[in-house]
Amino acid sequence: MQWLNNLKIAIVEENITQIKSLTKELPSFDSKIEAQEALALIGEAIKILDNKKEQTLEAMNKIKKTKKYFEQKRSLFKMSV
């Protein structure tokens, strides 16, 4: 089934946009095996999304810390001038 193949590719490439697009509209499956495979792939997709979410949160926290550091340096600089 082409949908399963497309989802596999999106998972391997960690293509969030494609994963989102494919999982918005699930097709009807011809067999129980296809449905089970889809379920397993969706589980993997969820893991990827959770991982990306964690990476984004870590990056945001680093940016916040950096911003705070530069704001402190700027205020110290203003006091010394």
d(CA 47, CA 20): 13
What does the pLDDT read at residue 69? 93
pTM for this structure?
Answer: 0.76
Residues in the chain, pLDDT under 70: 80-81
Q: How deeply is 49 buried, as exposed, middle or buried, from its count of CB atoms within 10 A (0-12, 13-18, 19+)?
A: middle
Q: How far is residue 64 CA from its own chain's centroid?
A: 20
What does the pLDDT read at residue 78? 73
